[in-house]
Chains A and B, each alone.
Chain A
Amino acid sequence: MRPLINLDKCDGCGLCVAVCCSNILKMVDKNLVIVDGDGCDWCALCEAVCISGAIVCPLEIVLNS
């Protein structure tokens, strides 16, 4: 599982890269890429700072079995 990126919405501001605690995001030629999705701790700060909604950290919602 890794955060989902919509490059059509991404304006390349890089705030998500700067805020990422796990250092898994990188800008390559103004394109946002995930360098280590498994290293993501799902803090969702990238989703919180992204004004354009280009990156989201979706949650699976389950009943306790």
Chain B
Amino acid sequence: MLEPGLLRAIPYFSELSDEELNEVGQYFFEESYVRDEIIFLEGDEARNLYFVASGVVKTFKTSSDGKEQTIELARPGDVLNEVAVFDGGPNPTSAQAITPVRLYKIEKSKMLAIISQRPVIALEVLRLMAAKMRRLTELVEDLSFRPVVGRVAKILLEQARAPLVSRLSQREMAAMAGTAREMVSRSLKTLEDEGAIKMERNRVVILDPEALERRAA
């Protein structure tokens, strides 16, 4: 049972009255996870919907050769695993606590019943799903049409040869490349895997400038 005040902080339920929150709250349970603990696995059946109460959860996919790709970081108030809960398929990603995490959990069947009785929740679910779809559409655009790795390669070369500032954060590189920070992080990893750069503690060492130039072309 969750207190109405705790539930109201979750966007799905922000428009409900105290009475409705009391009723909905009885279906929720609180769970705690330690750092690095797996919350659910990609491909498993989705039994529950989760909301982040505190901490940060990483959702990710793993390739057949064991490479991991972060999909997003879920922070307090964010929902986890709504795609599988609403389309009835398996979990599309795995989820792992990257800090100590508290989650509010509700069974899928209970959540679907609550939504069918309260259209105001359905509208909020749609709004948040649409926002997520917009973010993912932008990600597809970045991956398909815009060579982000090339733009990051160009920024690295320019910064090494004629630095405008002494150091650059990944957030700043993302702003310069017109992309998300996660894409810069991914591009640096790609360039390191290709042997063009080496990531040291707080340095990027360019090992193969010509490889970067080819990428930037």
Chain A residues within CB distance 8 Å of chain B? 1, 4, 13, 15, 18-19, 41-42, 44-45, 47-49, 51, 53, 56-64
B170 contacts A by Cβ under 8 Å: yes
Q: How far is the CA of A47 from the CA of B203 in the complex (A)?
A: 16
**Distance in Å from the Cβ of A57 to the closest Cβ of chain B?**
6
Q: A1 vs B161: C-alpha distance in the bound complex, in angstroms?
A: 22
A interface: dominant SS: mixed
Give B99's nearest chain A residue, CB to CB: A18
Which B residues form the contact surface with A (CB < 8 A)?
55-56, 73, 75-76, 98-100, 156, 159-161, 163, 166-172, 181-182, 185, 198, 201-207, 209
Q: Contact check: which of A13, A45, A62 meets B205 at CB < 8 Å?
A: A62
The residue that A58 contacts in the complex, of B56, B169, B185, with Cβ under 8 A, is B169
> Shortest Cβ distance from B181 into chain A, in angstroms?
7
A-B contact pairs, 21 of them (CB 8 A): A13-B76, A18-B55, A18-B99, A19-B56, A44-B185, A47-B169, A47-B170, A47-B171, A47-B181, A48-B182, A49-B98, A56-B170, A58-B166, A58-B168, A59-B168, A59-B169, A60-B204, A61-B160, A61-B167, A62-B204, A63-B206
Q: How far apart are the CA atoms of A57 and B185 in the complex, in Å? A: 12
Cβ–Cβ < 8 Å partners of A1 in chain B: 201-202
Report how far A44 CA is from B203 CA in the complex, Å. 12
A40 to B172, CA, bound (A): 20
| Contact call B75/A49, Cβ cutoff below 8 A | yes
Q: Are the C-beta atoms of A56 and B171 separated by less than 8 Å?
A: yes
